[in-house]
Chain A
Amino acid sequence: MRARESSDSLPAWGSVLCALALAIIPLPSLISAFRPDWVVLVVIYWSLMTPGRLGLFSAFFLGLLLDTLSGALLGQHALALLVVSYVVQRFHLRIRVFPIWQMSMTVLALLAIYQFLLFWVDGVAGRTVTTAERWAPVMIGAALWPFLLLLLENIREDVSARV
């Protein structure tokens, strides 16, 4: 069990770094509003599979990094990620055995919570953006979930088989 844990940390941090880079990679302005929340998806995966590895504190720190990178209010993404990570860790045993479509629905709900928290903080801080596009990343993220799950599972199997 321990060996499995330590072999997870490389893919975990690797995927997190990739997600951070994907979150700020420039896209044409036409589609940049549809960018899926990569960091949240990756955090959901790792809080689901190895809750002890990428815990609340990591989610908090990643959120702060995201705040810095996106120039948002410090703590905004951190709070949203924290809530998502908490919910996943609280119910990870139940979510883990869901069939894939049900898992996607759960991810949809989690992403919606995440976007809503960002939206809410924006509103309180007085820079409300009320376009329908804001909710597009939620749909896209949930649609991407099965593929991401497959990909990360494969990577994790590979790495732990090699160690």
Chain B
Amino acid sequence: MSAQRPITGRPFRGPSLGVRFFLLSLVCLSLMVLDSRESHLTRIRQGLSLVAYPIRAVVDLPFFAWRWADRAMTERGKLLNENDRLRREQLDLNVRLQRLAALESENARLRAMMEASARVADRMLVAEILSVDLDPYRHRFAINRGLEDEVYVGQALLDANGVVGQVVRAEPLVAEAVLINDADHALPVTVNRNGLRTIAVGTGESDRLSLPYLTNNADIQPGDLLVSSGLGGAFPAGYPVGTVVSVDRRPGLPFARVSARPAAALARAREVLLIWQEESDGLGEGNPSLAEAPR
């Protein structure tokens, strides 16, 4: 052993190389065991995440600068055009929203009559996806909101077109989220046309979800819109998840092979919406954010 001691380094005080290696690997092993049983190590993870935050920020910096420069140098004409378009779009949306607000309160009234409580998505917050690659084999990403913004594990993420994913780990300044097309992710959905309930499972491909639990005679066809069903409690009900693209019924197999294209731009999104859903027992006040919006 002593022959292996480095001659350039300072002389080792403390235990020898082998002993230190042994002890540290024991630490590693116990960390892994604890970590695989969820939530024993949140404190340590949060601490490490704070240490690692500057690295993430520095890596994101050039991309941030690029976006900023891109915005600063956009031509005036283009901006005016875009402004006009957005204004028209907003008018259009506002008109629709007025109708929606009426429907919403009617719905709440009806539900109140039936003494059922509706979960209404209440508060939203825009989060930016940090330009950091996580494991290339899993569909995960980090966002720039964390415990400071009251992000919680299991929280749903949406973009303008539909459901994006959910938060799997919340750290003080950043959170990690899993996309709905991750192979480990499953999401309860209903077919919008007929209310058929099923589960959409990620495939690991960025433009395909699979619906493995539909029998051969299930009433489903290409073009059907899938919306989140709200069962399971993680996702608010009624947000688009995807459209069915192919239904392959094989007489020899008990289940049909159904695949769907996600509605959200999973691979291209830059910003996502964090949703806080709150239990609302309806009547009148309905949804504050919607009630305020049309003004």
Contact = CB atoms under 8 A, between A and B. Distances in A.
B176 interface: yes
B21 to A, nearest CB: 4
Contact of B56 (A24, A52, A55, A76): A24
B35 A74 contact: yes
Interface string A25-58: 1110100110100000000000000111101110
A89 interface: yes
A114 to B, nearest CB: 13
Nearest to B133: A26
Given A27-B133, A89-B6, A92-B6, A75 B28 contact: yes
A122 to B, nearest CB: 9
A93 interface: yes
A99 interface: no
B217 interface: no
Contacts of B20: 55-57
Interface of A: 1, 4-5, 17, 20-21, 24-27, 29, 32-33, 35, 50-53, 55-57, 60, 63-65, 67-76, 78-79, 82-83, 86, 89-93, 121, 125, 127, 129, 131
Given A51-B6, A74-B45, A92-B6, 10 more contacts: A5-B10, A24-B55, A56-B17, A65-B52, A68-B52, A70-B134, A73-B36, A75-B35, A79-B28, A82-B21
19 contacts: A1-B8, A5-B10, A24-B132, A25-B133, A29-B206, A50-B9, A51-B6, A56-B17, A57-B20, A64-B31, A69-B55, A74-B41, A75-B27, A75-B28, A86-B17, A89-B17, A90-B17, A91-B4, A125-B36
